[in-house]
Amino acid sequence: MSHHSAHAQFTDEKRLRWALLLTSTFMVVEFLGGVISGSLALLADAGHMLADTSALTLAWLAARASGKPADKLRSYGYHRLQILAAFVNGIAFIGVVAWITVEAISRLWAPIEVRGGIMLIVAAAGLLVNLAAFAILHGRQRGNLNVQAAAVHVIGDLLGSVATILAAVIIIWTGWVPVDPLLSVLVALLILRSAWIIVRQSAHILLEGTPQDMDVELLRKTLAESVPGVRDVHHMHVWSLTPERPLLTMHVEIQPDVDQTRILQHLKRVLAERFNVHHSTIQLESEKCADH
C-alpha cells in the first residue's frame, strides 16, 4: 500500500468515525426526547438514526478491515464480515418498520398528548447534527464508494429530521396530533427503503451472485476479441467479496506456440483497466479443456 493510499484510508476511517460518533450520540438524545415528548415521529427518526448508525458502523469497520491482513483461516481476510452484518441489520430494520407502523395505527385510533415544543427543539438539533455529519463525509464521498454510501444514509437522516420538524410545527400551531404518527410512517418508509436495499444487496453477495454492474457476456466477448492469441473464454465465474472487490475465475483457450506469459499479462491488464477486476484466477489451455 502506497503512502498516499494509506493516508486516504486513514482519512476515510477518521471521517467515518466522527460521523458515527455524532449520529450514535444524538440517536440516544432523540430517543429520550421522543419518550419525554410522546412523539412517535421522534422515536421513528431515532429508529432511522439507529439504522444509519449501523450503516456507518459497517462502513467504519470496512475501512479498518481493509488494512487487516488475511490469515490461515481466512485467506480473503475479514471483508465479508461487513456483508454478513449488513444482512442481519437489514432484517432488524424491517422489524423496526413494522413496530413503527403498528404503533402509528394504534395512535391514530387513540391519540396521546404530544409536547410539540420539546419535539421541535430535539428535531432541530437533530437536523444540525445530520448537517455536520454530512459535511464531514462530503469531502471524500466522491473518491470512495464506502464513504459515499454512508453519506447517502446521512441524507436520509436529514429528511427524517425535516419531517419531524414539520410535524412539531403543525402540532404547535394547530394542535393536530395525528400528524405525528402520520409523518412517523413516512420516516418508517425511509427506513424500509434503506433496509430493503441493504438486504437485497447483501443477500446477493452472500449467494455469490454476479456483481450488479458486471456484464459477463461483454466481459467474455472483450477478452476473446481484444487479446491476440485468445481463441475462447469459458467456465467464467464472477462474484464479489464486497461490492468494491469483484473476483473472477475462468478458462482461456489460446493458440499453440504463443507467449503464455504475455497473454496472461494482457488479460490481467484488460480485467483491471476496463472491468475493475484486480483479483482473478486464469487457467490457460492450448488444447481441449480438461473439464469437458
What are 169-183's pLDDT values in tens digits? 999 999 888 988 888
- Residue 107 has a pLDDT of 84
Q: Which residue has the higher pLDDT, 74 or 238?
A: 238
Rounded average pLDDT over 235-243: 91
Task: State how far Cα 52 lies from the chain centre.
Answer: 10
Q: Judge whether 89 and 81 are in contact, CB under 8 Å.
A: no
Q: Report which secondary-structure segment, H or E, holds 132.
A: helix 116-138
Question: What is the C-alpha separation between 263 and 223, in angstroms, rounded?
Answer: 10
Cell of 63: 475501512
What pLDDT does 115 receive? 85
So what's the pLDDT on residue 66?
A: 61
First to last CA, the chain: 40
Provide the mean pLDDT of the chain.
83
Percent of the chain with pLDDT over 90: 30
Average pLDDT over residues 139-151: 56
What is the per-residue pLDDT for 139? 58
Run of H or E including 154: helix 145-174
Domains assigned to the chain: 3-206 (1.20.1510.10), 216-285 (3.30.70.1350)
Question: How far is it, in rounded angstroms, from Cα 249 to Cα 31?
Answer: 48
Higher pLDDT, 29 or 85: 29
Strands 279-285 and 245-254, sheet pairing: parallel
